[in-house]
Chains A and B, each alone.
Chain A
Amino acid sequence: MALLSKKDSKLVLDPLADNNPITIQVLGICSALAITAELKASVVMALSVLFVLSMGNVAISLLRNIIPSKIRIIVQLVVVAALVIIVDQVLKAFAYELSKTLSVFVGLIITNCIIMGRFEAFALGNGPKKAFLDGIGNALGYGIILVIVGFFRELLGSGTLFGFKVLGDPVTKTGLYAIGYENNGFMIIPPAALIVLGVIIWVQRSKNRALIEEA
């Protein structure tokens, strides 16, 4: 990559797989379980976190030398909360429909452990450019897992993708349903997300054995 140095591109690419915030660091699990029942919500959440994490990382990184260490967690919380509220207000004024879809995520973003985790572990010790790339990388790593989980849950649980009936109509029995296929109601409840996530972790670790912790 000519645009970024090797070190910088590592910041973006590492969290996508071998240092993924969800499957390796097991952060942000709560939102990954709560909102992945449909693909659209997963994508919206991923984009929201992308924005908040990259902007918040830059803000914290710029402030890193003047934040008193005793109250740094509170300062971090204030930065995330302020960012999220401003975005929410602006959307309410200029993109009302979108803001209604997002409103449910606002609370989830503020309390997302990935955000606090990256502020604490990275932005407090690095410059704004690196912090920005780190934010992008981690948010994308988070988003990829969300989209994968959302894909399987919506497809197997509701037979749809982005709301389109890809497997036929379960009520009038067309497509796959005509030959006796049924939606798996279990997939749309949160425990199913944990199982899908477990399968992803299993696949990832059996492909890259270096990731397996010593027992």
Chain B
Amino acid sequence: MAFNTEKNSYTVIFAAIMVVVVGSLLAFVASGLKPKIHENQRFEKQQNILYAMGVNDNEGEGDVTFVPTTSVEEDFSKYIVKQMVLDGSTAVEKENAYLIDVSKEIAKAKNGEKAELPLLIGEKEGKTFYIIPLYGRGLWDAIWGYISLDDHMVVQGVYFDHKGETPGLGANIKQRFFMDDFTGESVMSGNSFEGITVAKGNGDPLNTDKEDNQVDALAGATITGNGVTAMIKDCIKLYKPYLQTIRTK
């Protein structure tokens, strides 16, 4: 051994060199891969938004298949006809509104500050879809997604995703058997914007009752389910002023 590894000065120098070496290595990797990672994230957002309005490559039961990344940009500009941000009860057009960091804007809006809440309008087969981004908290970390409504405030499709919910339990919010249940449910109860509750023991596992504002919960994932309920309710509330103006009964 060439060095006296017990000496304090050695320890300090070793630690300093280690920090510099590892730090610059990580910085180098991160900045080198950044453009590629950002592109992937942008494609993913587009895929998720299109998924919520029913533009996807799902085949048969059970699988979640997005439109391929090779054609997603083309599909996105074809189906998403308007990108807007809310301004009180009206909405103004804004380019690339879908790239806005919803987590920050929703936090601002909840604090009563001025926020840029994005809203996308999609059109498919002559039908109009109002697509609202969602953001909330699950058990371990963030959950988010998109919900698309028609002008009767009936859900046309949803997409959920999560950062770190438990595999096999909370992570199942991004499975078809959970997401598909939302389609056809109304977010309205009478004239109030109720959202949709992920309910335990609602006695309707096949989700045949579309009038109850409820979908069947996932076993073993109560807190994630409650998070989904709260996320939908909170986000719909923020968009309520605008949604009221476009709603037809």
* Co-assembled chains A and B: yes
B220 at the interface (CB under 8 A from A): yes
User: Given contacts A69-B5, A104-B167, is CB(A85)–CB(B14) below 8 Å?
Assistant: no
Determine whether the beta carbon of A85 is less than 8 Å from that of B26: yes
A73 at the interface (CB under 8 A from B): no
A71 CA to B171 CA, complexed, in Å? 37
Determine whether the beta carbon of A69 is less than 8 Å from that of B6: yes
Contact among B5, B22, B168, B206 for A68, CB-based, below 8 A: B5
A82 at the interface (CB under 8 A from B): yes
User: Given contacts A68-B5, A86-B29, is CB(A154)–CB(B219) below 8 Å?
Assistant: no
Q: Mark B1-37 against chain A: 1 for CB-CB distance below 8 A, else 0.
A: 1010110001100110010001001100110010011
A75 CA to B10 CA, complexed, in Å? 14
Determine whether the beta carbon of B164 is less than 8 Å from that of A104: yes
Q: How far is the CB of B141 from chain A (nearest CB, A)?
A: 9
Determine whether the beta carbon of B206 is less than 8 Å from that of A154: no
Q: How far is the CB of B38 from chain A (nearest CB, A)?
A: 10
A11 at the interface (CB under 8 A from B): no
Number of A-B pairs, beta carbon distance below 8 Å? 87
Chain A residues in 8 Å Cβ range of B3:
66
Determine whether the beta carbon of A188 is less than 8 Å from that of B18: no
Q: For chain B, which range describes its interface: under 10, 10 to 19, 20 to 34, or 35 or more residues?
A: 20 to 34
A78 CA to B58 CA, complexed, in Å? 42
Determine whether the beta carbon of B40 is less than 8 Å from that of A35: no
Determine whether the beta carbon of A67 is less than 8 Å from that of B5: yes
A75 CA to B11 CA, complexed, in Å? 11
Determine whether the beta carbon of B25 is less than 8 Å from that of A82: yes
Chain A residues in 8 Å Cβ range of B241:
none
Determine whether the beta carbon of B219 is less than 8 Å from that of A82: no
Determine whether the beta carbon of A188 is less than 8 Å from that of B167: no
Partner-B contacts on A (CB < 8 A): 34-35, 37-38, 40-41, 65-71, 74-75, 78, 82, 85-86, 89-90, 92-94, 96, 103-104, 107, 153-154, 157-158, 163, 171, 185, 188-189
| Contacts beyond the supplied A89-B37, A107-B164, A188-B168: 6 A-B pairs with Cβ under 8 Å | A68-B15, A92-B40, A93-B40, A103-B164, A104-B165, A153-B168
